[in-house]
Amino acid sequence: MQPLIAPSILAADITQLGQEVDDVIAAGADVIHFDVMDNHYVPNLSFGPSLLAALRQNGLSAPVDVHLMTAPADRLVEEFIDVGANMISVHPEACVHIHRTVNRIREAGLQAGVALNPGTSLSAVDPLLESIDYVLIMSVNPGFGGQKFIPTALDRARTMRETLDVRGFTDTRIEMDGGIGVGNIRSAAEAGVDFFVAGSAIYGVACTHPTRRDDYAEVIETLRAEVAAR
Ligand code: DX5
Ligand code: ZN
């Protein structure tokens, strides 16, 4: 599977978001990762569907991966479907009927994912494998950008990849989210991850070039080269 690089706009300059998403896409990113936090399921508050609607209105055409860290999730799933999300992941702890939720995401023509926190058993996705397109293995506890990578996520990805392959879900992707950067993305790729979220590693790069876009291209190329070297 072609590896996907997904910058998280949580780490972008929020006063320039339209430019920030355009710049990472022009710099070679595949997908925009859109972290939705509600100060309830996670101890932080970010943004909602109106921001995605505004970015679409502003001309954003790239795929958008919505990571819903909200409880409940279902009403926001509907709203994100309406404003042009392409992929939505939900956490089992935040959904009363997660089987219904992921099936609804797919019925609407989007890709569905299930996000597993570092303390959540991998078996939580077992009954859902037929209904999803990707498993999101969290490599930090959700809620904040810029946290330290939790290395046990690597073994969890390896186990998940084996389970997916043994059970015939060879096209199901593994996304990893939290603390990923140039120094550890290769280990994630070796563990079977093919969909990489990076917030601060991309948007936090020092501006050594005349435009941020050049900085982003350099870091995205380096991330890709690390993945290719696995
Ligand atoms: C954490 C979020 C992540 C995070 C990634 O709750 O889901 O997407 O913003 O940011 P970094 O790469 O800075 O850890
Ligand atoms: Zn995320």
Number of structural domains (the chain) is: 1
Please answer whether residues 142 and 69 qualify as being in contact, where contact means their C-beta atoms are separated by less than 8 angstroms: yes
Token pair of 88, please? 């939505």
* Alpha-carbon Rg for the chain in angstroms: 16
Q: Tens of pLDDT along 104-125?
A: 999 999 999 999 999 999 999 9
Residue 175 Cβ contacting ligand 1 at under 6 Å: no
Q: Tens of pLDDT along 74-114?
A: 999 999 999 999 999 999 999 999 999 999 999 999 999 99
Distance 148 CA to ligand 2 centre (A): 14
Distance 199 CA to ligand 1 centre (A): 6
Ligand 1: residue whose CA is nearest its atom 1: 142
Residue type, 194: D
Ligand 1: residue whose CA is nearest its atom 9: 145
Helices (H), 13-118: 17-26, 49-57, 74-82, 98-107
Q: Where residue 142 sits, what CATH number does that domain have?
A: 3.20.20.70
CA-nearest of 41, 65, 42, 40 to 52 is 65
What is residue 42's DSSP assignment?
S
pTM of the model: 0.97
Domain range enclosing 105: 4-228
Residue 32 Cβ contacting ligand 1 at under 6 Å: no
Distant-in-sequence, close-in-space partners of 8: CB < 8 Å, separation ≥ 6: 33, 34, 35, 145, 177, 197, 198, 199, 202, 203
Q: What are 116's strand-pairing partners?
A: 137
- Report which ligand 1 atom has the smallest distance to the Cα of 179: 14
Instruction: From 195, 197, 219, give the residue whose CB has the most ligand 1 atoms within 8 Å, as the site to mutate.
Output: 197
CA-nearest of 163, 30, 31, 167 to 88 is 31
Residue 7 Cβ contacting ligand 1 at under 6 Å: no
Q: Tens of pLDDT along 50-69?
A: 999 999 999 999 999 999 99
